Amino acid sequence: MKKISFGFIAVCIFCLNANAQNTPKKDNGGITPEKLESWVPVPIITPGNTNADAPSDAIVLFNGKDLSAFQKKDGSPAKWQLDPEGTVTDVKGAGDLITKQAFGNCQLHVEFRTPAVVKNSGQARGNSGVYFMGKYEVQVLDSYDNVTYSNGQAAAVYKQYAPLVNASRKPGEWQTYDIIFTAPIFKDNGDVEAPGRLTVIHNGVLVQNNVSILGPTDWAQVPVYKKHDPKLPLLFQDHGDNGNPISYRNIWIREL
């Protein structure tokens, strides 16, 4: 085998270096690495110990103790049942659970549990819903081994978008939604400047990827936007007729 001398290697390194220095640099329009840096301070918060824990900048809507953040549609106190284990359950005739505070763009964390004892099927099985601005529903339903129309199952944007996958847990098990909502923007004349948008993560799985909301969700109406306030209360649906009381816990929201 031929020996390669140190001298030869040194000459090679010299040649490579000289070649690199002689290569004309691309004109980068006067941009330096430093000019691409932003040093505007980023707000510091303290995240929760787990992804389910409210970070320090969240508004805790329900922490298991009281329903002071909520009211009924008529402004009277919310009547859902507080359970000893720190959950809240819909009861017959209680009406929707509506926040006192209004929200626009937000990130919401909510945990829900459909009844362990399965009584019905389809839409009559643990039906509730998270209505952003009281108008745009992310469906809550027991969709474990329960056939219904796809765009009406759990994590659907009701009657607009089926979830990408069915990530439902069994009846009686706690499930999570982490939802990013962008409110629609309206022009002065009432036209839509930008539709609302929804991203939904169900039990840690992305199921709605920044979908464009078509208008208010409704059982029997084609969605048509109608100009409304930039912030409106969040609503948890009392479906009322199904005899399948839904439970919620650990509800927090971050305004964006």
User: Smaller CB distance to Mg ion: residue 62 or 112?
Assistant: 112
**Closer to Mg ion by Cβ: residue 159 or 197:** 159
Q: Kindly give, in sequence order, each residue whose CB lies less than 8 Å from that of residue 40, ignoring residues fewer than 6 positions away.
A: none
Asked whether position 115 contacts Mg ion by CB under 5 A, the answer is: no
Measured between alpha carbons, how far is 132 from 103 in angstroms, rounded to an integer? 8
Could you tell me which of 239, 252, 221 has the C-alpha nearest to residue 141? 239
Give the shortest CB-152-to-Mg ion separation in angstroms: 8
**Applying CB under 5 A, does 129 fall inside the site for Mg ion?**
yes
Closest separation in Å from C-beta 74 to Mg ion: 21
Residue nearest to Mg ion (CB): 129
Q: Is 134 in the site for Mg ion (CB under 5 A)?
A: no
Alpha-carbon distance of 216 to 11, in angstroms, equals 73
Beta strand extents in the chain (DSSP E only): 59-62, 70-71, 81-83, 87-89, 97-103, 106-113, 128-132, 136-140, 175-182, 185-186, 192-194, 197-202, 205-212, 232-236, 247-255
Q: Which lies closer to Mg ion via its Cβ, residue 114 or residue 237?
A: 237
Please count the residues of this chain forming the interface with Mg ion, following the rule CB under 5 A.
3
Nearer to Mg ion, 127 or 153 (CB): 127
List the one residue out of 216, 255, 248, 256 whose CA is nearest residue 62.
248
Least Å from the CB of residue 151 to Mg ion: 12
Could you tell me the smallest distance in angstroms from the CB atom of residue 32 to Mg ion? 55
Structure tokens, 249: 């816990």
Considering the complex, what minimum distance in angstroms separates the CB of residue 130 from Mg ion? 9
Q: Which residues contact 173 (CB under 8 A, 6 or more apart)?
A: 113
Token output for 140: 């809550």
> DSSP 3-state assignment of 152?
helix
Choices 72-80, 96-104, 222-230, 236-244; region in contact with Mg ion by CB under 5 A:
236-244
Minimal distance, residue 40 CB to Mg ion, in Å: 42
Which one of 66-74, 85-93, 122-130, 218-226 is the stretch in contact with Mg ion (CB under 5 A)?
122-130
Options 65-73, 114-122, 200-208, 231-239: segment touching Mg ion (CB under 5 A): 231-239
> Are the CB atoms for 181 and 106 separated by under 8 Å?
yes
Residues near Mg ion (CB under 5 A): 127, 129, 237
